[in-house]
């Protein structure tokens, strides 16, 4: 085996081991997605309620929801401290994770429409913050308007487990080991 092939194999192995894994959204199964960045768990089905509703009805739906044995659901929080509301939980999904109605990722049935947040506007108590997953826009709506509701809960549903090596890493390591071993035995 010539030196170029050996160098290529070693370089490939080093690159494969050096690539960081950045999985902020983890599918926990059974309809639950955990967000490692925000330490919250989302319902995988963004339209689990199956209908639009007024803000108070949406809050009641979320707080009364029992899903997979969990009873502590709520509507997503909004944080407009930066002026654009991208620090909110829905803004994070759209901006940081790339989740939209046309690109739902791990989620199901992300509607190309407006979702309620759990926050009333501090400027007008007759309005609440909302987020549009088609355009990534936010704003306020009158509390009696019909919007979608997407439930979220604080924390993870399972204790963290030791990460399992990915198959491609094992394949590359095994291939490199065989190649190196063959080089030294001939």
Report pLDDT for 18: 45
Report pLDDT for 20: 42
Report pLDDT for 19: 43
Tell whether domain 24-164 is in CATH 3.10.100: yes
Tell me the whole-structure pTM to 2 decimals: 0.72
Check the CA dihedral 89-91-96-101 and report its sign.
positive
Residue with tokens 């549903």: 157
Report pLDDT for 172: 66
Segment-wise mean pLDDT, segments of 10 residues, the chain, 186 residues:
61 50 80 96 98 98 97 90 68 93 97 96 93 93 98 83 60 68 67
For residue 34, give Cα distances in angstroms to 53, 62, 147.
25, 17, 24
Domain boundaries of the chain, sorted by first residue: 1-21+166-186, 24-164
For residue 101, give Cα distances in angstroms to 27, 73, 110, 126, 133.
18, 22, 5, 28, 6
């Amino acid at each position: 085996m010539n030196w170029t092939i050996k160098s290529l194999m070693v370089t490939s192995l080093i690159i494969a081991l050096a690539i960081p894994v950045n999985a902020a959204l983890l599918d926990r199964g059974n309809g639950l997605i955990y967000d490692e960045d925000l330490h919250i768990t989302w319902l995988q089905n963004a339209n689990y309620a199956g209908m639009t509703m007024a803000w108070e009805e949406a809050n009641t739906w979320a707080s009364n929801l029992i899903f997979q044995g969990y009873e502590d659901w709520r509507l997503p929080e909004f944080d407009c401290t930066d002026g654009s509301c991208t620090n909110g939980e829905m803004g994070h999904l759209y901006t940081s994770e790339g989740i939209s109605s046309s690109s739902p990722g791990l989620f199901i049935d992300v509607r190309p429409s407006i979702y309620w947040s759990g926050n009333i506007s501090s400027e007008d108590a007759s309005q609440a913050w909302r987020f549009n997953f088609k355009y990534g826009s936010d704003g306020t709506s009158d509390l009696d308007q019909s919007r979608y509701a997407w439930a979220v809960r604080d924390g993870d549903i399972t204790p963290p487990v030791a990460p399992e090596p990915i198959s491609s890493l094992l394949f590359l390591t095994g291939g490199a080991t065989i190649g190196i071993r063959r080089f030294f035995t001939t």
